[in-house]
Structures are given as structure tokens and as C-alpha cells.
Amino acid sequence: MKKILFVPIIFLGINLSTFAQGAIIAGQDSTRNVITTAVPFLTIGPDARASGMGDAGGALSPDINATYWNPAKLVFVEGDMGFSFSYSPWLSKIINDMGLYYLNGYKKLDQNNTLGASLKYFDLGDIPLATDDGTESGTFSPREFAIDVVYSRKLNEGRGVGASFRFIHSNLSGNFTNSAFDTKPGTSVAVDIGYYNNKEITFLKKPTDWIFAAAITNIGSKMTYTNDNNRDWLPTNLRVGTSFGIEIDPYNKFTFAVDLNKLMVPTPPIYERDSNGNIIFDPNTGDPIIREGKDPNRGLLSGMFGSFADAPGGFSEEMKEFQIAFGMEYAYRNAFFARTGYFYENEMKGNRRYFTLGLGLEYQKFGIDFSYLIPTIQNHPLAETLRFTLQYNFDEKEDTDND
């Protein structure tokens, strides 16, 4: 008897509004045209500080989790070496055994060069297996992970650049075979590139850190779970952000941050369909006939940069593909932190909209952060999402001098 693997669609993406569309295929519904990719877990912010600020982590003051948001920031982290661990029970309102784990560390080579590494691990829980007649035959445990090596270089006191090199492994169905198709784990490699600029200015007669940062993440080859004819884009993302850190007095400081994000992935086109709703194929080429938009089967660079002008709805739809994240952080003596934020995504492109809250404590070299997500839509699968981060930083040179 052949085994049938039941894989819930909810873990295949985080554009959760698509669940309500039922059998609607991307491109069929003019009110929703969500961009889907392989391994969407790569787009989930792993740490509790940035997630407590609406996921506006691109231009925050450098911390150990800069590895994920922008590799260029890592060289500006205070301290000689550090480690962090983050955990989030994912979609816990509907699934009780799914979780995201993030282990991260860095080491400064000198004042201008820093190396980092991280492991992002997504546990999708246990999925029931069944035979052709529906008899249960055990479970399968899909897993995904990404391993990063990061290099960050300081150009001067306020500017830096960085790059991450990533190996991605996604095992959603194992080596599964039936009469229709075969599946296998998907693998790929990708890179991130980032830029960071911190300029001190005066605002309301107060010293202010004005940070601008930009990064393109997950630039890499397409991934397949079956064969080379069925390859999916990685979630290549452009993140541009800015933040202002205003010191009220020696004890109190406020930071305001905003990020703009856009997937640099082809937008699904609108295909020609017959009276029954079936896609019409060109008899000469065998390809589906596109009514509006552009062919998504393009090369890497063409797909990335063409993604700014390929939406079927033209410029207005392109603008809807930008996600906006706002965040605010209050710091008391750089030891106690209170955070809040808001994330907005257009309804046509996924409809993720949520507020966030966060708290943080730092004592000497240790830190702990916590965040909580509050969707604006009732009964949303992301409701009550929690994230926890523990971190440890130390300056080896100072410790050595004190011996």
C-alpha cells in the first residue's frame, strides 16, 4: 500500500489571508494577488526586540540579532563576542507543536571586521500519514532550517557593509513517491547584502542618532521539491529603514523606527480562462496564455528587478506590495526597555496587520526580551504569538585586563 502524506497548507506560507480563499489560485481573484514563495519561514523575524517593535528591525541600533535584519550592523555591536537564543511557538492558536528556533553568535576580529553565524530552525510539528484506504500509518515530522555565515565590515565610525552566506534545507514531505509525482527535500543557497549608516545630528536641541539602513536578503536560486520543471522562488526581500534615537536625559531614551519591505519576486499574472474557468494554453508552446502581467518564469536578476514593474494591476498594485513596519522603544538607564509597534500589509497582498508589545531587561552582560503580537483581525492564526530571546555579550579584552 502506498502512503499518502497529509500536509496542512497553513505551514506553507505566512500570508495567512490566503486560507480563506479556498480553491482560488493566485491570479484568478482580482481582489487578491498574493505573492507566494518557497521557505517563507525565512521571512519570520526571529528575535523579540524587533518583533516587539512591529518587525521594524532594519535600522534599529545594532544588537546581536543584526545578523538576521542587516548584516552590515553586526560590526557596530558593542562587545567582543556574544550569543543569543530565540524561540517562538508558531501559530499556537491552531497548532500546538510548531515552533521557530534561532541560535546566533558573533566574534569581532578587530575594530573593523566581525564574523557571525546563525541557525534558524523551523519545526512544523507532526503530520499524520495514511495509506490509500485512509488507514493511519504513523506520522512524519517536516523540518526546515537555514545556516548562515556572516561577515560585517566597518567603513568608518558611522558606516558599514555586510554580507551573509546561507544554506537552506526544507524537508516538507520526505522522499515520497506515488503514481503522480515524486517529492524530495528542497535545498538552496542564498546571500544577503546590507548597508548601514549612523549619523549623529541635533534634534530639538538633543543629540540624536539618525540611522539609515538597507538590505536585500535571500538572493538565491529557486527551490524545488519535485523536479526542475517545478521550481519556486526564494523570498528575496528588499528592506529599507530608518530610526531616530533621542536621548531625553542621561536616564531616558526613545527610539522610533520605520521599515519598508518589498518581495523582489515576480507577481503572479492573470491568465486567460475559458467559460469554465480553466486556464487556456498556447497550442504552439504549451505555456499558459497571460492576459495581464508578465511571465513569472524568468532568470534571477530579471525576476528580482523586474518585480518592480510586473504587477497585473500596474503601478497601483505595485505600491500595494510594500509592507510598512513602525516601532517605538523606550529605554531607562539602558537596562529596562518597553516597546510597541505596528505592521501593515495590504489586503490584496496578504492582509497581515497587527500591533506588537515588548519588554526587555539587561543586567551586566545578560539580556532577556519578550514580545507579544495582537492582530487587528479577529480569530487570526497569528493571534497571541509570543517570542522570547536570551542573550549574552562580553568584552574579552576587558575581562582579560581585569584578571
pLDDT tens digit string along 18-63? 333 333 333 355 578 999 999 999 999 999 999 999 999 999 999 9
* Alpha carbon distances (Å) from 358 to 158, 330, 342: 28, 10, 12
Q: Would you tell me how many other CB atoms lie within 10 Å of the CB of residue 97?
A: 12
**Interatomic CA distance for residues 42 and 20, integer angstroms:** 23
Contact 254, 330 (CB under 8 A): yes
DSSP state of 40: G
Closest CA to 5 of 227, 230, 228, 184: 184
Q: What is the mean pLDDT of residues 187-191?
A: 97
Kindly report, residue by residue over 220-262, the tens digit of the pLDDT: 999 998 877 788 999 999 999 999 999 888 899 999 999 999 9
φ, ψ for residue 321, nearest 5 deg: -85, -5
- Among 365, 282, 379, smallest CA distance to 79 is for 365
More confident residue, 141 or 44: 44
Confidence of residue 9 (pLDDT cuts 50, 70, 90): very low
**Distance (Å) of CA 313 to CA 59, 131, 176, 269, 319:** 31, 44, 39, 9, 10
Query: In sequence order, which residues have a C-beta less than 8 Å from that of residue 379 and are 6 or more positions away?
Result: none
Mean pLDDT (the chain, rounded):
87
Calculate what percentage of the chain has a pLDDT beyond 90. 68
Grid coordinates 530610526 are at which residue? 243
**Of the CATH numbers 3.40.50.720, 2.30.110.10, 2.40.160.60, 2.30.29.30, which one belongs to the domain with range 40-267+321-393?**
2.40.160.60
- pTM assigned to the model: 0.88
